[in-house]
Structure 1
Amino acid sequence: MIDDILNQIKDGKLSVEDAKKQLNSFENLGFAKVDHNRKERTGFPEVIYGEGKTPEQIISIIKAMQSRNDDVLATRVSKEKADVILQQLPECSYSEIARVLYWKEDKPLQTKEDRYIAIICAGTSDLAVAEEAALTAELFGSRVHRIYDVGVAGLHRLLHHLEEIQGATVSVVIAGMEGALASVVGGLVSHPVIAVPTSVGYGANLQGISTLLAMLNSCSSGTSVVNIDNGFGGAYNAVMIDRIARGMAID
């Protein structure tokens, strides 16, 4: 990036002032500092966490990112907020079930390789977290296979997809209740499994605490666990694994 900017200055295509703006590590909006260089450092653009932010704040951040052609991914955006945002930014897209709002200059990259991430969801009640994971992975450039409603209460449903699951580079397994699905998948595959506990379950589930502890105690080696309802975090890690498998750790 720095070499490109310096060459543009040398060729007279970029002014010193404009170069300074591009080299700034962040843009100060007063209420937020937008990290434009994050993709250069980590391979992923900054992601907006929508909870606790007003629609106006989210709109300002998105406009700042669009001005630098940064891909936009905003998680945990309620439909009420999204309706306000889309009135001013109709080019953005919104998934109500995932509560994800996004904008990408080009269509999400679907690689022509056979590699893909399996997003495996135990039950319909877990779909919001599963779709947050699936959309995150797709927007970050990975192919995704959605395998939904295959919880352990009907194990034959999971086994019906076994060959497809085993062919994945990495699996993200989303489940509530006792969280057993992650351990089952971990015992059937030779690739990493990222377990995402959800807050779905009756009283003793404790809003996902018991699921989290069960997944942390999994006896299936190769299983790692992210926080409760954190489909975004599970997908982020899965995309990193997928990129390394494709020989492109940084996009």
Structure 2
Amino acid sequence: MDTHEILEKVRAKDMTVEEAEGYFRRKPFVDMGYARLDTHREIRSGFPEVVFCSGKADEHLLDIYETLYKENGEVFGTRASEAQYELVRGRIPEITYDPVSHILKAEKEGKRRRGKIAVCTAGTADIPVAEEAAQAAEYFGGRVERIYDVGVSGLHRLLASLEAIQSANCIVAAAGMEGALASVIGGLVDKPVIAVPTSVGYGANFKGLSALLTMINSCANGIAVVNIDNGYGAGYIAAQINRLGVRHDEQPNE
């Protein structure tokens, strides 16, 4: 829970002042021996800790998911497998799994999503990375518009969605091959562009390295680049930028 949620519970008499005081006084992490879960991260940053599922031992993953779910009422993990989904579902029936993005999550019902984030891909092969970004941004409270398969080999497809892209608080551009999509978008918008190089491409793509180099050498302004296939990182940053945009829109007119 974040600070605002705790105070709202106190005001609604769903939590006593003593319970709230105890929550803030407790140790800011849960020491599980093999992991130290940062249970106060949402209080500090506004977003709770997320689980990187790949490579975790089954029992560790189960206990981490169960602990975070009990703590926050929801839990979000990336790079999960079908087998891990079946494993976690045994303890958390509410858990859902997306085989495209490999997201393993349970979310609070009725979550409010605000602002606007445009998530774009050059091709359909980039969608798994883009979906990791989109679902992360949605989990952190952003409203996402997906604009897929608008790569530079058919620029008219991108221009047909330009109004939707320009109206977003920020844009995520996921592209493999030569990775030119971020530069094109960057020259058409007045908002930040988060470029995500993907490992999609033939041999000289070097598993995303060519797209990464294109993006970090872009002559377009306002482009920031995350690591190869790091959709989650892009979605997180997009959620932070979007949150600033929402706060700006909510300021009273002077």
TM-score by shorter chain over 0.5:
yes
Q: Say whether the 8 Å CA contact 1:100–1:132 is kept in structure 2.
A: yes
> What pairs with 1:156-195 in structure 2 (closer than 5 Å)?
156-195=156-195
Cα 1:56–1:217 change in 2 (3 A) is same
> How big is the shift at 1:170?
0.3
Of 53, 63, 68 in structure 2, the residue corresponding to residue 50 of structure 1 is 53
> How big is the shift at 1:136?
0.5
* TM-score, structure 2 normalization: 0.88
Cα 1:107–1:14 change in 2 (3 A) is closer
Q: Which residue of 2 aligns with 1:147?
A: 147
> What pairs with 1:209-228 in structure 2 (closer than 5 Å)?
209-228=209-228
Amino acid at match of 1:95: D
Is 1:86 equivalent to 2:79 in the alignment? Answer: no
Q: Say whether the 8 Å CA contact 1:108–1:138 is kept in structure 2.
A: no
Amino acid at match of 1:216: I
- Runs of 4+ in structure 1 off by over 3 angstroms are 11-16
Amino acid at match of 1:180: A
> How big is the shift at 1:181?
0.4
Is 1:201 equivalent to 2:204 in the alignment? Answer: no
Cα 1:15–1:137 change in 2 (3 A) is closer
Secondary structure of 1:229's match?
Answer: coil
Structure 1, unmatched stretches of 5+, are none
Q: Say whether the 8 Å CA contact 1:109–1:139 is kept in structure 2.
A: no
Secondary structure of 2:235's match?
Answer: helix
Secondary structure of 1:135's match?
Answer: helix
Secondary structure of 1:94's match?
Answer: strand
> How big is the shift at 1:247?
1.1
CA RMSD of aligned residues (A): 2.5
Q: Matched residues in 2 for 1:147 and 1:109: separation? A: 22
Q: Matched residues in 2 for 1:125 and 1:108: separation? A: 30
Amino acid at match of 2:163: E
> How big is the shift at 1:70?
4.8
Q: Which residue of 2 aligns with 1:30?
A: 33
Between stretches 198-207 and 61-70, larger displacement belongs to 61-70
Structure 2, unmatched stretches of 5+, are 249-254
Q: Which residue of 1 aligns with 2:80?
A: 77
Q: Deviations over 1:153-178 (max 9, x none)?
A: 11111111011111111000000000
Q: Which residue of 2 aligns with 1:133?
A: 133
Q: Say whether the 8 Å CA contact 1:179–1:197 is kept in structure 2.
A: yes
* TM-score, structure 1 normalization: 0.89
